Structure formats: C-alpha cells, structure tokens
Copies of this chain bind each other. A is one copy, B any other.
Amino acid sequence: MQRKKPDIDRVFHALGDPSRRAILEKLSQGPISVSKLAEPLQITLAAVVQHLKVLEESGLVQTEKVGRVRTCRLEPAGLSVAAEWIGARRSMWERGLDRLGDLLAEPDEKWREKPPRP
C-alpha cells in the first residue's frame, strides 16, 4: 500500500533493521557517543549517523551535541508506542480466540455486511 508514515509506522520500520536494533541494545546500557556506538558495528560512521537519524525521527532515541561530541540516549516513550500497539492487538487476539469456535462454525458475514433486520 505504501501510504504516508504516521508515528507507529516509523517506529516499527526503525525496529525492523538489525543494525538499528544493535544500536538500541547498546544504548540500553546507557548514553554513549556516536563513534563509540559505531565501533563494534561493522559499518561506517556515516552509516551509523544515518541510522541514528531514523531512530531519532521515530522517537526512539534522543541526541544532544556538546562540543564536537554527540551523545545519544534512549527515549523510553518511543518504545511504548510499539508496546501499546502490540498490547492492544494481543488482547483483541485473545478475546478473539475465545470466540474462535463460534466464528469457525458460523459463516463470516459477521463483520462485513449487516443483513436487514425485518
């Protein structure tokens, strides 16, 4: 479909990349500079900076530059967006599973068209 990106979209897209998740793991140990962040990864500093841009735009990471050093840290609120989406789906899920027998037994005109009630 590829529509424009609301917040949730950015967050999940950001989480979808292994390098970015590696960055988040590192950051979960505490704030750190860009170059220290890049060191263990096998990509260039420039690439890390690009990932950081994505992470920052998605609200998962915050950065602040002091002198020539940019320090990065996690933004707890960012992950919450994802956690909440998943949580909501999961609960509907489980409610749905309770009714699973019903839904399988019945035909599925349940949530598409409502036949006229005479």
Q: Which residues of A contact B (CB under 8 A)?
A: 1-3, 5, 8-9, 12-13, 15-19, 21-22, 24-25, 28-33, 36, 39, 41-43, 73-74, 76, 79-80, 82-83, 85-87, 89-90, 92-94, 96-97, 99-100, 103-104, 108, 110-112
A39 to B112, CA, bound (A): 10
Say yes or no: B1 contacts A31, CB within 8 Å: no
Chain B, Cβ-Cβ closest to A40:
B112
Chain B, Cβ-Cβ closest to A43:
B1
Say yes or no: A103 contacts B30, CB within 8 Å: yes
Contact of A18 among B3, B31, B32 (CB under 8 A): B3
Contact of A36 among B16, B33, B80, B108 (CB under 8 A): B108
